[in-house]
Structure 1
């Protein structure tokens, strides 16, 4: 803290532009720069006064890295053109054989991937078909069970027995019954009575 305080005092008392950069043993950065300047501005002034280019070595490394990246990019572009059947005139026999082998390996990988995708889609379709078949079989069983349940129709003495009988004869497992009193004289006035149940 004391050294940064001194740097601030120099800035105020001497009207100086001060830049202080300090790293601790753990790598922590601490810095101070006058409020009237920036670190880059002070470095630029230092280069002008001392004649030392602080960025030259860094710039050279960047240029070297850029050149390598351009070379890699050009090689990749040339390889792509060669795989497309272009730019083959300068290749030797061994290089052509190597290119052919690489393309065969690539083609093998593509075919394996294609067969895998086809197999996966086929399995998915088979599962869907089995599910539809199971659903259809379940619906058929429900329909058969429903048809096996008999349906009964009751017709009172004054009801439309012929219509019910016709429906019974045309329907599947459908039965029509007619209720007929044993004592006709109790039909009108009697509340209680016994009835015969006759199957049509």
Structure 2
């Protein structure tokens, strides 16, 4: 089948609306995942065995169940327990929780990779533990985390088609609707792929730039 460039151009505005929804959900989900992942990584170092076991259970559950199942639970099962969230909020929470489990492990590895002497020097200088974390440990842990965070952010964009199951009008859903209305499939899905590239490639380059800046600093 010939590719209809005129049709492809005409559907760009509709797909851009879906792209904006995708970007919004992914960015908010990424913030949730990064912050929550860091919190879990810190809690894993808690002196309380109960807290450490809870963290282990949290990570095990999220890493060993599919994202689609988790989205179904959040969107369809929680309302039966009296908790109803809008689709966008569910998508943000679903992506944030799922990826927080992976980012938590990355944070843990980055923190464990910091030389023990940094802790000893901070203790010798009588620096408060909260200040040690905020001003010494976490800034150093962030440097090796940058490429990892970039990869997970791009991965989140690739997972967004799953959000269609909870009625979020993201990019894939928009392309699917256009295909259903026009009975043309090459054009909407090709434009969709190009729009994903338009987001993922600059994102990858941006995190590589940040990584180089961090090593140069």
TM-score with structure 1 setting the length: 0.22
Name whichever structure is richer in strand by fraction.
1
Name whichever structure is richer in helix by fraction.
2
Q: Greater Rg, structure 1 or structure 2?
A: 1
TM-score with structure 2 setting the length: 0.21
